[in-house]
Amino acid sequence: MDTTLHDPLVGQSLDGRYRVDARIAVGGMATVYRALDTRLDRELALKVMHPALAADATFVERFIREAKSVARLSHPNVVGVFDQGTDGPYVYLAMEYVAGCTLRDVLRERGALQPRAALDILEPVLAALGAAHRAGFVHRDMKPENVLIGDDGWVKVADFGLVRAVGTATNTTGSVLGTVSYLAPEQIEHGTADTRADVYACGVVLYEMLTGAKPHAGDTPAQVLYQHLNADVPAPSAAAPGLAPELDDLVASATARDPELRPHDAVTLLAQARETRAVLGDEQLDQVPPRARAERPGAGPEDVTSVLARPVAAEREPVQHTSRLPLPPPGPRPDAGPGPAAAPVPADRLPRPARRRGPLAVLVAALLVLGLGGGVWYINSGQFTRVPAVLGQSQEQAEKRLTDAGLDVRGTEHEYSGAYRRGTVMATDPEPGERIRGNGSVTLTISRGPRTVKVPDLKGTPLAEARRELTGAGLAPGMITRAFSQDVERGAVISTDPGPGTERSPESAVALVVSKGAPVDVPDVTGARVGDATRTLEGAGLAVRVAAERVHSPKDAGTVVLQSPAGGQVAKGDTITLTVSKGPRTAVVPDVTGKKADEAERALRAAGFEVRTQKTFPFLGDTVAGQSVAGGERAPEGSTITIKIKGL
């Protein structure tokens, strides 16, 4: 049913100029309509603030700021703003109309995209954000809903409603704006948002394009927020096996939890994306993605642009405007201290060592499982602080985070663990989230990894994936040798040393034998015409490359004078390079008629020819009476010239 029939603005005109024809979309702050500018007779989009919000000066100011910010950008990948105005209770923006769909529509319909398509979308998005960053703005709400794909294939970034100048985006006074699934850790924890927050969101969007799913999921927004703070975005290849490791690296770079480790802005990330594309082959770029997990119908709580409470300098009370995240009532607090800054993730999403959990942590986890702990809140804790969540982080990262929180590291212990990677924090004392005095100390327990590691069965696994599996299992990829194989695809593992199932200590090296493909005997095609040689080689399952430069040789022009490799065995599909003859070099034959035989022979040899002497009556004289190639004509270098000697 067409819901635009029930919209009072459809069919009306704003400012006597913009005729509202149809409703396109409804958001948390505004509704977007397709309209006609009757003065200029052009189709455009009208973004009209909800009348209930128009009385709020903060929202109106943000709305108008969007118009001014985008008008300054004037970039082909940014949805342009033509006009801004007010008509009675309606505050509106007149914007460029993009006929097409959003990236969210594409992901919902198709799931994961091929890497080439994902980069084709990412690059213009980064170009648009790069222009904003270099102009001094931060978008702060990058997500697939704000990426428009026109029917002509043009990609544009929309909805700069949360934009802030870079200089003023480093701190807010009580709220964090954005969409939960795409918020950078510093936005959640500190309310800071500079250009690197947009870079993080773009990394999450790239992950979603490559896998068809968001990197962090949860039943409540609080669970998603917790994972952004405490878990790295996983490698896309873990959800979509076969993706090139360079794509994993690109996502990891953009989504580093420490903003200092991310590219500085979208321009820098764009350069990385283009470098990644340059090193990928067509097969890697056009890899067909696995069938993506279906999105839940409609927008979940993590998909809504929200205002989330964050601590402020005084009471740290939550500021709530249009938040879709319910905040729990303050209520009486027990003496043991306030609730956690962010709710913990369920145990099935983040493995923990078997340690006794405090009653407060158990209570919060239970509330989350029951669906009662969806809010995020902060309460001033006076002289006490809470131990930051550092499980799964490297020792260096954990020590830095503890130091930044004003805590000391008392010492470290080391234990074996099958749940935490070697060198990462597996436990803290006190535990994460527990109250501790502001100058207190924390002991870190560092994982040694598992006591023993079984070598995985990697036969038939592509080399890049095999390396990742070994690393993930706590082993190290060792020496790589290559061998022919009739039954293992080229580039995949034939065998390992030690073999699968063998137990080794962590970080032990595992040698890999990688398939060169099925062996093929190389036919000898030297002397054959290049066309015949090509057909012979291709018939044997080999590829052919003809060298661009032809060479002089005694062989006829157009025939193969050299092939590389010349013989032996190669893998099926390998390339044989052919060098083609352009015939022998030629030289001018000296005229030696009338010369003495010895003199004639010397002249011909000096010109590069062989000489054959034919004497009729040698005892009667030695003067040259004729030659097989007349003087002044050209003949192949090294060919034989016959001279005839006759007597007087």
CB-CB contact of 415 with 383 (8 Å): no
CA 215 to chain centre: 14
In a domain, 342, yes or no: no
Q: At what angle do helices 245-254 and 266-279 cross, to 10 degrees?
A: 170
Closest CA to 199 of 247, 155, 157, 142: 142
Which residue from 259, 155, 136 is spatially nearest to 201, judged by alpha carbons? 259
Q: Check whether residue 22 and residue 58 sit in a common domain.
A: yes
Q: Which amino acid is at 57?
A: A
Residue 392 Cα distances to 64, 229, 409, 420, 507, angstroms: 43, 12, 16, 6, 18
Domain-terminating residue out of 61, 95, 129: 95
Distance between CA atoms of residues 182 and 195, nearest Å: 14
- Domain harbouring 459, CATH code: 3.30.10.20
Q: How far apart are CA 36 and CA 489, in angstroms?
A: 59
Model pLDDT, residue 66: 64
* Spacing of C-alpha 398 from chain mean position: 27
Q: What are the CA-CA distances from residue 189 to residues 139, 193, 227, 311, 383 (Å)?
A: 18, 11, 12, 9, 19
- Regarding pTM above 0.75, the answer is no
Give me the residues of the chain with pLDDT under 50, please.
1-5, 162, 165-178, 292-299, 301-302, 304-382
CA pair distance 474, 189, nearest whole angstrom:
32
CA distances for 307 relative to 109, 176, 191, 277, 421, angstroms: 29, 5, 11, 36, 35
Place of tokens 């002089």: 552
Q: With the CA atoms of 569, 570, 575 and 579 taken in that order, what torsion angle do they form, in degrees rounded to the nearest 10?
A: -20
Q: How far apart are CA 128 and CA 148, in angstroms?
A: 12
Which position among 41, 56, 141, 556 bears the catalytic label? 141
Furthest CA-CA distance within the chain: 138
H or E, element range at 49: strand 42-49
Predicted confidence at residue 466, as pLDDT, reads: 93
CA-nearest of 644, 560, 557 to 597 is 644
Q: What is each CA distance from 516 to 143, 458, 483, 496, 565, in whole angstroms?
A: 43, 16, 5, 15, 15
Locate 252 and state its tokens: 């990891």
**Separation CA 262–CA 307 (nearest Å):** 25
- Which structure tokens are listed for 248? 């994993």
Residues 620 and 640 placed together within one structural domain of the fold: yes
Q: Would you say residue 354 lies in a domain?
A: no
CA distance 550 to 579: 6
188 & 265 share domain: yes
216 and 148 assigned to the same domain:
yes
Domain match, 141 and 222 both? yes
pLDDT at 411: 87
CA 148, CA 161: separation in Å to the nearest integer? 15
- For residues 556 and 523, membership in a common domain is answered with yes
242: left (phi over 0), alpha (psi -120 to 50) or beta: left
Say what the pLDDT of residue 312 is. 34
The CB-based long-range contact list for 164-172 (8 Å cut-off, 24+ gap) reads 164/137, 164/138, 164/140, 164/193, 165/136, 165/137, 165/138, 166/133, 166/136, 166/137, 166/138, 166/194, 166/195, 167/136, 169/138, 169/140, 169/193, 169/194, 169/197, 170/194, 172/310
Final residue belonging to a domain, choices 68, 95, 122: 95
Using CA atoms, how far apart are residues 113 and 119, in angstroms rounded to an integer? 10
Q: 108 and 219 share a domain?
A: yes
Strand partners, 546: 578
Residues 257 and 195 in one domain: yes
Contact 309, 342 (CB under 8 A): no
Please indicate, yes or no, whether residues 91 and 123 belong to a single structural domain of this protein.
no
* Domain annotation covers residue 386: yes
Which among 188, 187, 208 is positioned nearest to 196, based on CA atoms?
Answer: 187
Q: What are phi and psi of 366, to 5 degrees?
A: -65, -40
What is the predicted pLDDT for the residue at 472? 85
> Does 141 qualify as catalytic in the annotation?
yes
Amino acid 603: pLDDT: 92
Three-state secondary structure call for residue 189: helix
Q: Give the DSSP H or E segment for 576.
A: strand 575-580
Split into its structural domains, the chain has a count of 6
Q: Give residue 439's domain range.
A: 382-447
Residue 552 lies inside a defined structural domain of this protein: yes
CA distance 92 to 108: 29
Neighbours of 449 (CB within 10 A): 21
| Residue 280 to residue 249: CA distance in whole angstroms | 13
- Give domain status of residue 551, yes or no: yes
3-state SS string for 358-380: CHHHHHHHHHHHCCCCCCCCCCC
The two beta strands, 425-429 and 441-447, are antiparallel
What does the alpha-carbon distance between residue 436 and residue 405 come to, in Å, rounded to a whole number? 11
How many helices, marked H, and strands, marked E, lie in the chain? 16, 33
Q: 488, exposed or middle or buried, with CB in 10 Å at 0-12, 13-18, 19+?
A: buried
Domain boundary, last residue among 414, 430, 447: 447
> Residue 306: which of 365, 376, 240 has the closest Cα?
376
User: Which pLDDT value is given to residue 346?
Assistant: 33
CATH number at residue 192: 1.10.510.10
* In a shared domain, residues 571 and 602: no
**Is residue 353 one of the residues assigned to a domain?**
no
Residue 352 lies in a domain: no
635 in a structural domain: yes
Q: Are residues 59 and 132 in the same domain?
A: no
The DSSP bridge partners found for residue 623 are: 596, 646
Question: Residues 6 or more apart from 575 whose CB is under 8 A from it?
Answer: 542, 543, 544, 545
CA 378, chain centre distance (Å): 35
Residues 88 and 112 occupy one common structural domain: no
